[in-house]
């Protein structure tokens, strides 16, 4: 156990954090306490503008890269690599106000506390720090999710991402131009390097809440298979077409939704299966559907179990094609394997929690995060604070003020140690 | 057997009919040979304008009533009641080109042949004749279907119909005003009365096609129960929400779609069950759906069987509410009972077919038609021509030229006898 390098929080700093969080939560606020600010919409833009002003006022330089990721750069040690910290400001439709947004604000407050700390103590850390707001983490308007960080780490080509369109046919490039968030450079590259990444997020699960633990140390992600399928039948009249003659795409789609649930029940808690998006064509009350497009989502902590579930689903597809007299076509797939976060990062955060007297436990993340991408590029620390009853992607999502404040304390100290090279003892020159 | 009162068709009249049908089918034409002209859209308006010009050129007076039904009046016997004949010009999204449109054009040609016949022979029938294009028979843009005829016969209040909105929030009143099709009077009323109605339509079933019969004499309708339900669950994260904690509205909806099919299989050919319209909220790939709205459609020739099926479905709803942990709410219902067409009308059409040497058979209609409403008001004749393989509400819908031409011959002679009082021996004074 060692003494924290940064001063503990003050009641004034906590009040400032909570006031800022309340101010930020007003953008795209929904009546039931959530927010709706899907990627590159007017409400997303308003939230970005608010954050940009906050950062600029405190001496950060705000820049965007070519996929609309927004960075607040604070150069403390000219020429040194940057430690990034952040999350995302975009939300689901009628989403919660904590998901992503808390992590961005926590990073901003943590970085700003460090700025003041170094100024007051006259010290210089080995790295610089940057706050990041990743573009389109949610994936509700433009697929796939975690788009900005995927482009950043090179897992998704920039041109593919920019050409992606929403349901109205608007491309990512157009949407970013509309809100003035498309930058002209990569921001980071040969001259400006990234050393490490830290992110804090609400848990989106119940483990911390149920066990009364304040801090989650994320050691690995669940693997996920996501794919879009089309169920293709034949259009007909609901009154006139005999049941035996029907090729009802919606009946085929319903059998798939039910099969997904049966699969989850068969494999137990280690498999999550979902269909959250399903669109019927032509979707007229008296017409047997000719086509249904669906987005399927299978997740597991085990790559092997996920592969087994995927095989089982594929076999079920073949049965459903016969049962409903439809064709099932795979249109698009997006997969991430289950992977570990660097053990050094988990240990660093555990030590910080212990030094600050904060209870912590190892947790896995079932949801994807921008850190899921970043950990493939640089040493990454992923922290969770409790979410009451694990509610997520819903307006009722809630985290207590005390946990929000403690999370920023832990992030601040963790970042301080990362800036001093805790995870990068020999920063690349 | 008696001699027809009107001259048989000529090759020239057949050519004119087929040329007009081809011209009319160009409005809203789709690449695969269908049409898309939902009620009160620009393509519906263009088709209406084409018909209005056709009628006006031939001496008909074109007027609209307050729900946008369009009439071409031909006064042959001043002060006498009218026999109406027609169907509807609106279509399903990517619908067939025959459904409805053939019946309107057939009525126009039949009425025009009668006009020329009376002019040439110097005779005056006991009734006048009017061609009608009923508003919004399809119900794909505005629900319920058969709206214009339902208002006409008094089964649906005018104000309710005018206030109905489409998915974009546009009301029927606004949509009718946009295309200039909302009239200021009822057209028919104390001064101008309706004596009888005739409609010809493609079968939307396979009985005529399979048996090689040219004309269907519709003696009764199937009953139908249509209702909108909402499946209400709770929004959550597809990755993070444990399966046991989910209240997945889409899972509940899928169980209902599957239950509908199981019901149809249990009751056999006398029951059709369908869900053609299903909308998911928020419909995001990584969000467990909070609500699904669905339109259900149950049809049977038997009122009793339909009631039994409805009870069985209701019982299944209660089980699904438990199984998926959702609530199922009924929002809107529209029911029509199975009813017979007047036997005198069936016999009249049978006699005409026999006199013209056209093969005919009694058929039931499973689909609803405007005549389903009109038969409750006045003596009504409903005729079918064959539809190849019974395809309907789809671009591949097809009826042979020969059958189209024969249908108009039969309708012309049937109308001639109706104008002479065949179904109304003592027209109301």
SS (H, E, C) chain A: CCCCCCCCCCHHHHHHHHHHHHHHCCCCECCCCCECCCCCCHHHHHHHHHHHHHHHHCCCEEEEECCCCEEEEECCCCCCCEEEEEECCCCCCCECCCCCHHHHHHHHHHHHHHHHHHHHHCCCCCCEEEEEECCCCCCCCCCCCCHHHHHHHCCCCHHHHHHCECCCCCEHHHHHHHCCCCCCECCCCCCCCEEEEEEEEECCCCHHHHHCCCEEEEEEECEEEEEEEEEECECEECCCCCHHHCECHHHHHHHHHHHHHHHHHHHHHHCEEEEEEEEEECCCCCEECCEEEEEEEEEECCHHHHHHHHHHHHHHHHHHHHHHCCEEEEEEEEEECCCECCHHHHHHHHHHHHHHCCCEEEEEECCCCHHHHHCCCCCEEEEEECCHHHCCCCCCCCCCHHHHHHHHHHHHHHHHHHHCCCCCCCCCC
pLDDT score for B216: 97
Q: How far apart are CA A91 and CA A138, in angstroms?
A: 6
- Alpha-helical segments (H) within B84-171: 101-121, 147-153, 158-163
Residues of A with CB below 8 A from B275's CB?
250
ipTM of the complex: 0.75
- Residue in chain A nearest B286 by alpha carbon: A276
Residues of B with CB below 8 A from A368's CB?
239
Check A239 against B265: CB less than 8 A apart. Answer: no
- Residue in chain B nearest A228 by alpha carbon: B285
The answer, for A283 touching chain B at a CB cutoff of 8 Å, is yes
* β-strand pairing of A327-336 with A380-385: unpaired
The answer, for B267 touching chain A at a CB cutoff of 8 Å, is no
- The answer to whether A139 and A145 have CB atoms below 8 angstroms apart is yes
Check B239 against A299: CB less than 8 A apart. Answer: yes
* Exposed / middle / buried, residue B30 (Cβ in 10 Å: 0-12, 13-18, 19+): middle
If contacts are CB pairs under 8 Å, which of residues 183-212 in chain A contact chain B? 203-206
Q: How many of the other CB atoms lie within 10 Å of CB of A414? A: 27
Nearest chain B Cα distance for residue A339, angstroms: 15
If contacts are CB pairs under 8 Å, which of residues 129-148 in chain B contact chain A? 138-140, 143, 145
Check A138 against B286: CB less than 8 A apart. Answer: yes
Check A279 against B280: CB less than 8 A apart. Answer: yes
* Domains of chain B: residue spans and CATH: 11-221+339-419 (3.40.630.10), 223-336 (3.30.70.360)
Residues A125-147, buried b or exposed e (16+ Cβ, 10 A)? bbbbbbbbbbbbbbbbbbbbbbb
Check B235 against A285: CB less than 8 A apart. Answer: no
- Point out the residue among B239, B258, B393 whose CB comes nearest to the CB of A272: B239
Contacts of A386 (CB under 8 A, 6+ apart): A202, A203, A208, A209, A213, A214, A216, A399, A400, A403
The answer, for B182 touching chain A at a CB cutoff of 8 Å, is no
A-B Cβ pairs (cutoff 8 Å, strict): 239
Residues of B with CB below 8 A from A236's CB?
391-394
Nearest chain A Cα distance for residue B231, angstroms: 14
Residues of A with CB below 8 A from B257's CB?
250-251, 253-254
Check A392 against B236: CB less than 8 A apart. Answer: yes
Angle, CA of B202, B206 and B208, to the nearest 5°: 70
Rg for chain B, CA atoms, rounded: 23
Nearest chain A Cα distance for residue B121, angstroms: 42
pLDDT in single tens digits along all 429 residues of chain A = 466 667 667 889 999 999 999 999 999 999 899 999 999 999 999 999 999 999 999 999 999 999 999 999 999 999 999 999 999 999 999 999 999 999 999 999 999 999 999 999 999 999 999 999 999 999 999 988 999 999 999 889 999 999 999 989 999 999 999 999 999 999 998 888 999 999 999 998 889 999 999 999 999 988 889 989 999 999 988 877 889 989 999 999 999 999 999 999 999 989 999 999 999 999 998 899 999 999 999 999 888 999 999 999 999 999 999 999 999 998 877 787 777 899 999 999 999 999 999 999 999 988 889 999 999 899 999 999 999 988 888 899 999 999 999 999 999 999 999 999 999 876 444
Rg for chain A, CA atoms, rounded: 23
Instruction: Name the nearest CA neighbour of A273 among B239, B297, B277.
Output: B239
- Point out the residue among A139, A239, A392 whose CB comes nearest to the CB of B240: A392
- Point out the residue among B237, B273, B297 whose CB comes nearest to the CB of A285: B297
Mutate to test the interface with A, among B221, B257, B284 (most CBs of A within 10 A): B284
- Residue in chain B nearest A243 by alpha carbon: B272
- Point out the residue among B251, B283, B366 whose CB comes nearest to the CB of A261: B251
Q: Crossing angle for the helix pair B101-121 and B401-419, nearest 10 degrees?
A: 50
Check B297 against A289: CB less than 8 A apart. Answer: no
- Point out the residue among B145, B255, B394 whose CB comes nearest to the CB of A235: B394
Residues of B with CB below 8 A from A279's CB?
280, 283
Lookup result for tokens 């000219």: A78
pLDDT score for B2: 61
- Residue in chain B nearest A387 by alpha carbon: B240
Residues of B with CB below 8 A from A290's CB?
94, 394
Q: Crossing angle for the helix pair A11-24 and A42-57, nearest 10 degrees?
A: 150
If contacts are CB pairs under 8 Å, which of residues 363-392 in chain A contact chain B? 366-368, 390-392
If contacts are CB pairs under 8 Å, which of residues 346-365 in chain A contact chain B? none
- Point out the residue among A234, A240, A276 whose CB comes nearest to the CB of B286: A276
Q: How far is CA A261 from CA A52, A332, B242, B428, in A?
A: 43, 21, 12, 64
- Point out the residue among B243, B279, B288 whose CB comes nearest to the CB of A276: B288
- Point out the residue among B203, B226, B393 whose CB comes nearest to the CB of A287: B393
- Residue in chain A nearest B288 by alpha carbon: A276
pLDDT score for A58: 97
Nearest chain A Cα distance for residue B230, angstroms: 14
pLDDT in single tens digits along all 429 residues of chain B = 466 667 667 889 999 999 999 999 999 999 899 999 999 999 999 999 999 999 999 999 999 999 999 999 999 999 999 999 999 999 999 999 999 999 999 999 999 999 999 999 999 999 999 999 999 999 999 988 999 999 999 889 999 999 999 989 999 999 999 999 999 999 998 888 999 999 999 998 889 999 999 999 999 988 889 989 999 999 988 877 889 989 999 999 999 999 999 999 999 989 999 999 999 999 998 899 999 999 999 999 888 999 999 999 999 999 999 999 999 998 877 787 777 899 999 999 999 999 999 999 999 988 889 999 999 899 999 999 999 988 888 899 999 999 999 999 999 999 999 999 999 876 444
Q: How far is CA A338 from the centre of its chain?
A: 15
Check A276 against B261: CB less than 8 A apart. Answer: no
Q: How far is CA A348 from CA A126, A374, B118, in A?
A: 17, 17, 100
Instruction: Name the nearest CA neighbour of B380 among B199, B217, B224.
Output: B199
- Residue in chain B nearest A256 by alpha carbon: B254
Q: How many of the other CB atoms lie within 10 Å of CB of A174? A: 14
Q: What is the pLDDT of residues A303-332, one digit of tens each?
A: 899 999 999 999 999 999 999 999 999 887
pLDDT score for A241: 85
Residues A87-98, buried b or exposed e (16+ Cβ, 10 A)? bbbbbbbbbbbb
The answer, for B35 touching chain A at a CB cutoff of 8 Å, is no
The helix/strand/coil state of B274 is strand
Residues of B with CB below 8 A from A206's CB?
242
Residues of B with CB below 8 A from A30's CB?
none
pLDDT score for A223: 87
pLDDT score for B290: 96
DSSP label of B423? S
If contacts are CB pairs under 8 Å, which of residues 68-127 in chain A contact chain B? 92-94
Instruction: Name the nearest CA neighbour of A172 among A142, A151, A133, A145.
Output: A142
The answer, for B255 touching chain A at a CB cutoff of 8 Å, is yes
CA B319, B323, B325, B331: dihedral to nearest 10 degrees?
Answer: -40
pLDDT score for B427: 43
Q: How far apart are CA B253 and CA B229, in angstroms?
A: 10
Q: How far apart are CA A385 and CA A405, in angstroms?
A: 10
């Amino acid at each position: 156990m060692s003494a924290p390098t940064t001063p503990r929080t003050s009641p004034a700093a906590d009040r400032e954090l909570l006031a800022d969080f309340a101010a930020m939560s007003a953008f795209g606020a929904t009546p039931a306490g959530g927010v709706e600010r899907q990627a590159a919409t007017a409400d997303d833009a308003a939230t970005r503008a608010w954050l940009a002003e906050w950062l600029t006022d405190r001496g950060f330089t705000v820049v965007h890269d070519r996929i609309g990721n927004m960075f607040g750069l604070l150069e403390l040690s000219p020429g040194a690599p940057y430690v990034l910290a952040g999350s995302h400001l975009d939300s689901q439709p009628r989403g919660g106000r904590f998901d992503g947004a808390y992590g961005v604000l926590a990073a901003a407050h943590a970085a700003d506390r460090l700025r003041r700390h170094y100024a007051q103590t006259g010290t210089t850390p080995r790295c610089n720090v940057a706050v990041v707001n990743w573009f389109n983490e949610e994936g509700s308007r433009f697929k796939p999710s975690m788009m900005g960080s995927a482009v950043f780490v090179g897992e998704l080509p920039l041109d593919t991402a920019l050409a992606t369109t929403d349901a109205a046919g608007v491309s990512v490039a157009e949407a970013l131009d509309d809100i003035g968030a498309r930058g002209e450079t990569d921001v980071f590259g040969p001259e400006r390097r990234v050393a490490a990444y830290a992110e804090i997020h609400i848990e989106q699960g119940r483990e911390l809440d149920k066990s009364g633990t304040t801090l989650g140390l994320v050691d690995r992600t669940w693997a996920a298979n996501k794919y879009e399928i089309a169920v293709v039948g034949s259009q007909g009249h609901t009154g006139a077409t005999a049941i035996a003659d029907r090729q009802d795409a919606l009946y085929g789609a319903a059998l798939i939704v039910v099969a997904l649930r049966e699969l989850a029940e068969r494999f137990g808690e280690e498999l999550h299966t979902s269909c959250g998006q399903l669109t019927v064509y032509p979707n007229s009350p008296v017409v047997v559907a000719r086509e249904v497009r669906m987005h399927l989502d299978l997740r597991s902590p085990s790559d092997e179990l996920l592969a087994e579930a995927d095989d089982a689903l594929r076999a079920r597809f073949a049965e459903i094609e016969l049962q409903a007299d439809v064709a099932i076509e795979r249109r698009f797939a997006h997969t991430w394997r289950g992977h570990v976060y660097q053990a050094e990062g988990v240990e660093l955060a555990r030590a910080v929690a212990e030094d600050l007297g904060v209870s912590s436990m190892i947790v896995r993340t079932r949801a994807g995060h921008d850190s899921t991408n970043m950990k493939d590029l640089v040493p990454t620390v992923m922290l969770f604070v409790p979410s009451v009853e694990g509610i997520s992607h819903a307006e009722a999502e809630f985290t207590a003020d005390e946990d929000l404040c403690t999370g920023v304390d832990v992030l601040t100290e963790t970042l301080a140690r990362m800036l001093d090279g805790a995870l990068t003892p020999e920063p690349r020159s």
